[in-house]
């Protein structure tokens, strides 16, 4: 039962992040200055979507399309996330969208497991508060970006 509630919360939270990013794009001029933003991110969709794959996301997209060798990404980026995105996107789906969905679903599953773990030792009120505080933490938006943070967060429990 709580899993459905948390799914609603994550979707509502992700929607709120999308609205905030649209408002920010409207109010603040933004010109990405990191390498490959125009050549790798621009073809994958509008800036409101591709902005969720800045910085390390570009490296993951490069690993998905070219593999590790010759990209300079051998030592820092673990293979499970880009390979899963590559596998799912091989049927013709935009890899950026696939990665964002994987990150969001992983975050939702991590929240469900976190709730169950906290509830083992504390009352339900504490478990619910921990989820709410996690969602409102200032850097929590990274959990639904094209990064491995939510994937790592989920697998930390195992």
Per-residue pLDDT of 88-132, as tens digits, reads 999 999 999 999 999 999 999 999 999 999 999 999 999 999 999
Phi, psi of 41 (to 5 degrees): -80, -40
Compute the distance between CA of residue 158 and CA of residue 152 in angstroms, rounded to an integer: 10
- pLDDT of 1 above 70: no
Tokens representing residue 135 in the block: 């969602």
Q: Compute and round to an integer the Cα radius of gyration of the chain.
A: 17
Higher per-residue pLDDT: 114 or 77: 114
Compute the distance between CA of residue 10 and CA of residue 30 in angstroms, rounded to an integer: 27
Tokens representing residue 39 in the block: 């050549």
Average pLDDT over residues 35-53: 77
Residue listed under structure tokens 């409101």: 48
Question: pTM above 0.85?
Answer: yes
Strand, coil or helix: what is 91? coil
Percent share of the chain, pLDDT over 90: 43
């Amino acid at each position: 039962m709580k899993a459905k509630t948390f799914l609603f919360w994550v979707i509502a939270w992700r929607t709120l992040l999308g609205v905030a990013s649209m408002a920010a794009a409207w109010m603040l001029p933004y010109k990405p200055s990191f390498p490959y933003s125009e050549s790798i991110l621009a073809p994958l969709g509008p800036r409101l979507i591709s902005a969720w794959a800045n910085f390390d996301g570009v490296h993951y997209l490069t690993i998905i399309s070219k593999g590790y060798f010759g990209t300079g990404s051998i030592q820092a980026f673990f293979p499970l996330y880009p390979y899963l995105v590559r596998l799912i996107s091989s049927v013709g789906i935009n890899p950026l969208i696939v990665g964002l969905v994987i990150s969001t679903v992983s975050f939702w599953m991590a929240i469900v497991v976190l709730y169950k773990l906290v509830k083992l030792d504390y009352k339900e009120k504490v478990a619910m508060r921990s989820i709410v505080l996690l969602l409102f933490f200032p850097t929590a938006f990274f959990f639904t970006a094209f990064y491995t943070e939510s994937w790592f967060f989920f697998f930390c429990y195992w």
